[in-house]
Amino acid sequence: AKAELDRHVCYYEQEMDEAARQRRAMGKDLWQAVENGDFHLVFQVQKSVTTDAVTGYEVLLRWDRPGHGMVPPSEFIPVAEECGAINAIGAWVLHHACREAATWPEPHKIAVNVSGLQLAQLELVDLVKMVLDESGLAPSRLELEVTETAIIADRKRALAVLNAIKALGVSIAIDDFGTGYSSLDTLRSFPFDKIKLDRSFMVEVGRDDQAKAIVRAILALGKSLSIPVLAEGVETVEQMDVLRAEGCTEAQGFLLGRPGRIDWTAMPGRLLMA
């Protein structure tokens, strides 16, 4: 039995080594990608539930890894955090997102995801300031999306950083709300301008009364704190109907638009102007 166990442990260690080796290789490629600019950004529309008007666009990062093809951010962001490339990548995203949005024919807001490691650094404030200066983007057009997991690491520091960024006129959304470590205390102590209700709640909302009750409770919470709630991952008309009935403010999801490049010529406003 001992030999059997040893064999398992050894096999397990080999697998660990292989996973670690792959992460190291990916980390190296990520640093290279920062140098080469092998990233690009896509945008996903956010809309008002009541008027259907565009309220903003979430910025999502894409990486075409040489020899591997597109790697989803859920795979490479954790590696970037581990190998230290996340700050350089986060800076790249902020620069390019603001520079691009500043050229748009419509002054829509952009929502940029910020990693917890970025949030733990006071330099993030300087970076945001610099990027706004350089791009000329109005601060009111920039929103940062942070997760509660990100805040947990160092609450005091995170609060100081977020307050300083808010003082620039930039807004802050709490992302993936209702998952992980969400606590009501965080909502109370942090200056959030928006709550992004996690996609996991949408999945069941069309068919399950309990899921609907939770969504209703979070919407009520947002209302009583005067923080608008955006529902993510809206894929069906039924989900949209529930959100409308329950008084949700904003929505985002495949039903409203997939992440992609924005075709400005397809905008009614643009056509009228042309």
Q: Cα–Cα distance between 23 and 166 in angstroms, integer? A: 35
252 binds Ca ion (CB under 5 A): no
Question: Which one, 175 or 246, has the nearer CB to ligand C2E?
Answer: 175
Residue 93 binding target from Ca ion, ligand C2E, none, CB below 5 to 8 Å by type: ligand C2E
**Beta carbon of residue 1, minimum distance to ligand C2E (angstroms, whole number):** 44
For residues 34 and 18, the answer to whether their CB atoms sit within 8 Å is no
Binding flags for Ca ion, 114-153, as an x/- string (CB under 5 A): -------------------------------x--------
Answer whether 60's CB lies under 8 Å from 45's CB. no
Least separation in angstroms between residue 77's CB and ligand C2E is: 5
- Residue of 206, 193, 114 lying closest to 158 (CA atoms): 114
List the single partner that 115 binds among Ca ion, ligand C2E, none, CB under 5 to 8 Å by kind: ligand C2E
Distance between CA 46 and CA 84 in Å, rounded? 31
- Residue with smaller CB distance to ligand C2E, 12 or 254: 254
Determine the interface stretch with Ca ion among 37-45, 67-75, 105-113, 238-246 (rule: CB under 5 A): 105-113
Question: Min. distance of Cβ 4 from ligand C2E in angstroms?
Answer: 40
CB 186 within 8 A of CB 172: no
Relative to beta strand 69-71, strand 54-65 is: antiparallel
Write each residue from 165 to 204 as x if it is in contact with Ca ion (CB under 5 A), else as -, in one continuous string. ----------xx----------------------------
Total interface residues for Ca ion by CB under 5 A: 4
CA dist 273 and 104 (Å) reads 14
Tokens in use for 243? 């959100």
Place of tokens 């190291």: 24
Q: Pick from Ca ion, ligand C2E, none: which does 77 bind, CB < 5 to 8 A by kind? A: ligand C2E
Helix (H, G, I), strand (E, B) or coil at 26: helix
Q: Which residues bind ligand C2E (CB under 6 A)?
A: 44, 60-61, 72-74, 77, 93, 113, 115, 175-176, 199, 233-235, 253-254, 259
The full DSSP string for 139-170 is: GGGEEEEEEHHHHHTTHHHHHHHHHHHHHTT-
Q: Which residues bind Ca ion (CB under 5 A)?
A: 113, 145, 175-176
